[in-house]
Structure 1
Amino acid sequence: MPELTRLTKRAVDAVPFQPKGKPPAFYRDGELTGFGLKVTSERKIFIVERRVNGKPKRITIGAYGPWTPDNARTEAQKLLAEMAGGRDPLQKKREARQHRVTLREALDAYLQGRELSPKTVTEYQRVGVLYLNDWADKPITQISREKVSQRFQSLTSNNGAATANAVMRVLKAVLNFAQHQYGTEEHPLFINNPVQILSQTRVWNRIPRRQGHLGPADLGPWFRAVQDLPNPVLRDYLLFLLFTGMRREEAAGLRWSQVDFANHLLTVTQTKNHDPLALPLSSFLYGLLQQRQVQANPDSPYVFPGNGQTGYIQEPRKALEAVGRQTGILITPHDLRRTFITVADSLEISPYAVKRLVNHRQDRGDVTAGYIITDVERLREPMERISQKILERVEEG
């Protein structure tokens, strides 16, 4: 590193910029050891360098212009004194930054840093706006166990048990992310995620698992009411959910490029659990998709196109409500998934085959499942049996 007698305005002005593409050049101050100048093709930047606890550290003071040589020298003296005492100013800045990170910043970073479905992103943002907005611009280090407990009780009383659980699950995930993103081993944001208090005190609300599905007597009336829907995209989408057991978002985003008519197969790569799904098409599904292709919008890549930002169908709630008014049968898209699984169970189809069909991961403790390789062709016969059983119940109803 070249040495200048003293980093004065005249000396700094005389230092040439580096040619573009060349690495930065460094110049030392001849009077104040550790004070220096870093020069790139565009900027001249004041720095200090010194060992702290045996480790070399380089700290940026600021660019020449906003910083004068005299102001930079004064700042360098302060920083060098700290470093001589064994304190790392960079660590000090990181710790100060840690305590300024707000819940809004942490949530935004969490959503940007993970591969989440548009539905999940919308839900997390909704939680932040509706239920945690008064915490949004406060440092996350101010979210204490006591505050979490109080907010959880308030949400349970005013918004319901399920909402309270959902909000706290979102908060727990964001704070876990923030702990790794902004905290360090030596200086964690908190000793334990404050939402852990709900587990430690065992106060999470018990939510009975939903058991909604179409019973044998419901399938006929519901099926015929769906066929009467004026919107053919919604009609085919709801029937597709029933005959595949697929999750709502995964089915909605299905593209024509994922449908292999030659091999009677469809493949989904973007799934909830990130495991790709290869699904054989039953005779009913093959016919439904062929008819859908004839009616397809040539400008849309989606099997079930919609007018929203995503380009595919979003919310079948109104269609389900219309069917409910006609039949008295009110269900959700996930109830159709449960119906598919219930029909499969009634046929005594292998649990491993059912899990593969609906893209459930095998239990980690299930040793037997680890030895079973379920080829997609071996799923074709169970898939056809499930479809035929549904159609039988439709006819019976």
Structure 2
Amino acid sequence: MAIVVRFTEARVKELRAKARPGKRDEYQDADVSALRLRVSTKSASWSVLKRIPGGDMKRVGIGKADDIVASEARKRALVLVGDMQKGIDPNAEKRQRKKEDLRHGLTLGEGLDIYLAEKDLREATRRTYERDLRTTFGDYWDRPLVDLTPDVVRNRHRDRKNRALRSQARVQSASARKRITASPSRADGAVRALRAVVNYLKVTRSIDLPDVAAQITATGAWGNVRRRKRALGDRLDDFVRAVRALPHDLPPDLTGTQRDLTLFLLCTALRWSSGAGLRWDEVDFKSKTVTICADRMKGKAEHSLPLGPELLAMLRARFAVRRSNEYVFPGLPKTADEPDNLRPFGRITKHFTAKIVDGDGDGFVWSPHDLRRTALNVLESMDVSAYALKRIAAHSEGDDVTAGYLTDDVSRLRAPMERLEARVFGRRGKVVELKKPVDRRR
């Protein structure tokens, strides 16, 4: 129950001096009954407490007693009381003003920062989203998100598909700007990243933003880039011979490390982001397996694979002369002042790929993901079951009810993985045979 007093500056000081530790007292103005003062040992604040006609009691904050004198608080209270008698909810109006301020003040860069900070995404996904948004909508980076209307996004998407748009990009170096080219896939990726950010802010921050991809979807203007099918195919043997013939580590491109990483990816079908960051604590020499942590897997789930004898021998050899106690395939130091501060390779270097040529001196057109496709194609050609292929590739088994009945026993994958390794290295020795179906008609 509020204590009724007539608020004056002297009276307010007296009430604050009487504040009790751990308690909060409330006082009511004798002149304007809706005006209240809440007092504690730490602070005192003005508010209005009144029922809106046909509604509930509402408390509307006015401000701190340190900033607003009693006479000013009374004037503001009278204004608020008049609005509330008309059915206006000042709190609802305040929330709406905040939403509008946020809507018109939140920039693309700030929106992306919120999205990345609150979403559990792989590091590779984070880099891709930021790269695509910077290279396609870089000139909007510090502008309000509301400026990216569906019409603007449609036009920018169309231009990005057909032109490099280097002048609009927001990148850190001239070399990064030079790498920007016309790309339907990058145009689609940028709009999808933008749509993800906008939709997240609409739900979590209640910001009224349009569907930025509406025009593109309505007009069927998506790039619809076909999934790449490139693999080494018939050139696999020549490729492996050329890679294995490369020397041990040579600065600055560390030929031997990239050589071993290439063969490792080819024999495990791992994605680049999973294999390049392999750590020594993920290698189990005793059980002959590698277990990639969930943070580096696209599906955010830990992934284990058996290792064949060739990969085991290669990893043991690398461990014996390791340059890093953390990473299996370390790159160069981050800075010259920190020679021991190593990190994984960010990408295969051009110096390295230029050294891989066949007997006629012709190079190979390939990417790390082509190695993954090649490995899965080799496994499929060996009649490895679709479920085993999915487990090796770490693809989602989502709504597949049958897959849910199969155990996650890594030993089930040893036979196909050893056969894959034998095919890659051309080894003719004894390997674990694939299980054959039992003929129950006998």
TM-score tier, shorter chain, comes to: 0.7 to 0.9
Question: Which residue in 2 is equivalent to 1:171?
Answer: 194
Shift of residue 283, structure 1, vs aligned partner? 1.7
SS at match of 2:121: coil
> Which runs of no fewer than 5 residues in structure 2 stay unpaired?
164-181, 335-340, 430-442
- In structure 2, do the counterparts of structure 1 residues 297 and 143 end up closer, same or farther at CA, with 3 Å as the change threshold? same
- In structure 2, do the counterparts of structure 1 residues 146 and 286 end up closer, same or farther at CA, with 3 Å as the change threshold? same
Corresponding letter in the other structure for 1:305? P
Q: Distance in 2 between matches of 1:175 and 1:160?
A: 23
SS at match of 1:42: coil
Q: Distance in 1 between matches of 2:49 and 2:421?
A: 72
Q: Distance in 2 between matches of 1:227 and 1:51?
A: 84
Question: Which residue in 1 is equivalent to 2:63?
Answer: 62
Corresponding letter in the other structure for 2:374? T
Shift of residue 25, structure 1, vs aligned partner? 4.5
SS at match of 2:315: helix
**1:258-287 superposed Cα distances (whole Å, 9 cap, x missing partner):** 222221122222211112212122222222
CA contact (8 A) 1:341 1:354 kept: yes
Question: Which residue in 2 is equivalent to 1:44?
Answer: 44
CA contact (8 A) 2:258 2:348 kept: yes
SS at match of 1:286: helix
- Asked if residue 250 in structure 1 is aligned to residue 274 in structure 2, the reply is yes
Question: Which residue in 2 is equivalent to 1:375?
Answer: 409
Question: Which residue in 1 is equivalent to 2:420?
Answer: 386
Shift of residue 213, structure 1, vs aligned partner? 1.6
Q: State the TM-score, normalized to the length of structure 1.
A: 0.86
Q: Distance in 2 between matches of 1:86 and 1:324?
A: 77
Question: Which residue in 1 is equivalent to 2:86?
Answer: 85
Please state which structure has a larger fraction of its residues in helix.
Answer: 1
Question: Which residue in 2 is equivalent to 1:321?
Answer: 353
Q: Distance in 1 between matches of 2:392 and 2:303?
A: 8
> Which runs of no fewer than 5 residues in structure 1 stay unpaired?
none
CA contact (8 A) 2:242 2:356 kept: no
Shift of residue 324, structure 1, vs aligned partner? 4.7
Q: Which has the higher contact order (CA 8 A, sep 6+)?
A: 1
Matches within 5 A, 1:222-237: 222-225=240-243, 227-229=245-247, 230=250, 231=254, 232-237=256-261
- In structure 2, do the counterparts of structure 1 residues 361 and 314 end up closer, same or farther at CA, with 3 Å as the change threshold? same
Q: Compare 260-269 and 118-127 and name the one that shifted more.
A: 118-127
- Asked if residue 220 in structure 1 is aligned to residue 255 in structure 2, the reply is no
Question: Which residue in 2 is equivalent to 1:240?
Answer: 264
Corresponding letter in the other structure for 2:92? Q
Corresponding letter in the other structure for 2:303? L
CA RMSD of aligned residues (A): 2.9
CA contact (8 A) 2:240 2:424 kept: no
Question: Which residue in 2 is equivalent to 1:103?
Answer: 108
The percentage of counterpart residues that share the same residue type is 30
Question: Which residue in 1 is equivalent to 2:139?
Answer: 134
Q: Distance in 1 between matches of 2:69 and 2:428?
A: 83
Question: Which residue in 2 is equivalent to 1:264?
Answer: 288
Corresponding letter in the other structure for 1:259? V
Q: Compare 99-108 and 167-176 and name the one that shifted more.
A: 99-108
Question: Which residue in 2 is equivalent to 1:12?
Answer: 12
Shift of residue 383, structure 1, vs aligned partner? 1.2
Q: Compare 268-277 and 61-70 and name the one that shifted more.
A: 61-70
Q: Distance in 1 between matches of 2:61 and 2:343?
A: 47
CA contact (8 A) 1:219 1:393 kept: no
CA contact (8 A) 1:244 1:340 kept: yes
Q: Distance in 2 between matches of 1:389 and 1:324?
A: 19
CA contact (8 A) 1:156 1:164 kept: yes
Q: Which structure: larger Rg?
A: 2
Q: Compare 27-36 and 203-212 and name the one that shifted more.
A: 27-36
- Asked if residue 295 in structure 1 is aligned to residue 321 in structure 2, the reply is yes
**1:116-158 superposed Cα distances (whole Å, 9 cap, x missing partner):** 2333323333333332233334433343222222222222221
Task: Select the residue among 170, 175, 181 that pairs with 2:204.
Answer: 181
- In structure 2, do the counterparts of structure 1 residues 10 and 203 end up closer, same or farther at CA, with 3 Å as the change threshold? same
Q: Compare 32-41 and 238-247 and name the one that shifted more.
A: 32-41
Matches within 5 A, 1:341-352: 341-352=376-387
SS at match of 1:32: coil
SS at match of 2:46: strand
Q: State the TM-score, normalized to the length of structure 2.
A: 0.78
Shift of residue 41, structure 1, vs aligned partner? 4.8
Question: Which residue in 1 is equivalent to 2:167?
Answer: none
Q: Distance in 2 between matches of 1:223 and 1:79?
A: 82
CA contact (8 A) 1:223 1:394 kept: no
- In structure 2, do the counterparts of structure 1 residues 281 and 142 end up closer, same or farther at CA, with 3 Å as the change threshold? same
Corresponding letter in the other structure for 2:401? V
Q: Distance in 1 between matches of 2:51 and 2:277?
A: 56
Shift of residue 202, structure 1, vs aligned partner? 1.6
Q: Compare 352-361 and 231-240 and name the one that shifted more.
A: 231-240
